[in-house]
Structure 1
Amino acid sequence: MITAADPWQGHDTTVLFTVLLVATPSLVALLAYLCSRFTGRARPRRTPARVWRDVSLAAVAAGLAVYLWGLLDLLFLGDQEQAQECERHKPDGAVLVGRRGDFVPLRLVCEVADGRDYSVVVPGYVNPTLTVVLVLALLGAAVSAFLHHRQRTPAQKKG
């Protein structure tokens, strides 16, 4: 049984599967919605605020896809393979004392006796990409909200 005090724990598989089972249909639904924005019926209702909203949602979809990719890297490696990755990448002369899995940022951390740690398994581009698309999503949402507010304000003054 793995406890919270176990220094060799990776990612909790229950949480890992739960995130995968929730995020995958969410990504599919988000992509279906974004594809619907390119139909002929959606074109006449396109406004700058809606375009920026869709840019924000596209960034969210990209981030979700990258996060899922990182989760799949973790899913397909068992404890033994994760331990081998820690061994393969450890600094010369270092003694491994533990392993832990973090979901935010997504990483598998190998801990060394001198207090240092290093990440393995999850591709190095996952977390920086998530940071960039998160900033893009927030920027798109803020611009969309601003444009929507600006579009609604003159209409309210007339009425």
Structure 2
Amino acid sequence: MASDPWQGHDSTVLFALLLTGAPALIGLTAYLCSRLAKEARRRITPIRALRDASLTAVTVALALYLWGLLHVLFLDGQEQAHECERHRPEGIPELVGRRGDFVPLRLVCEASGGRDYSVVIPGYINPSVTVLLVLALVAAVASGFMHHKQRTPTPKEG
């Protein structure tokens, strides 16, 4: 129920992400491993290298995100509440709720006075995923730009 202040992560969304993310991770990993074959390495171009760098960054980001989801999956509501209590900063008299966010991935303990703090998800997950996705975007745009430049005929001088 959405009005429940102790709801945590929606288990339907959590399982859907895990059940779609795992095969995607396996598929991306298999593709990237195929790029290491001798024949594929012989045909490498800067455009393909940037494409593969982009896909590698996406693959690592997906793996980290799924790793964070597994941290949530293996803690039931009682254990999540215990983690909130265990990490409660000094000066916070009581907890008033808990919520789970998927973007960024976090389990937020809501304290009285409007002070919130995150637990359970390792602190390196969200910053790493962000940096990796930015790198993936930069590499993909560079690859696309190089591909477009290669395909576009240069005007003839008269």
**Structure 1 length as normaliser, TM-score?**
0.93
1:33: which partner in 2? 31
Q: Give CA-to-partner distance per residue, 1:44-70, whole Å, 9 cap, x none.
A: 332111110000000000000000000
Q: Which consecutive segments of 4 or more residues in structure 1 shift more than 4 A?
A: none
Measure the CA separation in 2 of the matches of 1:42 and 1:93. Answer: 59
Alpha-carbon spacing, 1:63–1:142, altered in 2? closer, same or farther (3 Å): same
- 1:131 — aligned with what? 130
**Paired AA for residue 114 in structure 2:** G
Greater CA drift, 55-64 or 44-53: 44-53
Paired residue total = 155
* Residue number in structure 2 paired with 1:141: 140
1:7-156 alignment to 2 at 5 Å? 7-94=5-92, 95-154=94-153
- 136 and 12 in structure 1: CA distance in 2 versus 1, 3 angstrom threshold: same
Question: Is the alpha carbon distance of 1:39 and 1:135 closer, same or farther for their aligned partners in structure 2, counting shifts above 3 Å?
Answer: same
TM-score (norm 2): 0.94
DSSP 3-state at the match of 1:41: helix
The DSSP-based 3-state class of the residue aligned with 1:55 is helix
Deviation at 1:42?
1.5
User: For the residues of structure 2 that align with 1:91 and 1:140, how far apart are their CA atoms?
Assistant: 41
> Which amino acid is 1:111 matched to?
E
* Structure 1: stretches of 5+ with no match in the other structure: none
The answer for unaligned runs of 5 or more in structure 2 is: none
Return the alpha-carbon distance in structure 2 between the equivalents of residues 25 and 34 of structure 1. 14
Partners of 1:13 and 1:96 lie apart in 2 by 22
**CA–CA distance in 2 between the matches of 1:64 and 1:142?**
19
- Which digits, 9 at most, give the CA deviation of each residue in 1:26-81, with x for residues without a partner? 00000100111111222333211111000000000000000000000111111111
Q: Percent identity?
A: 66
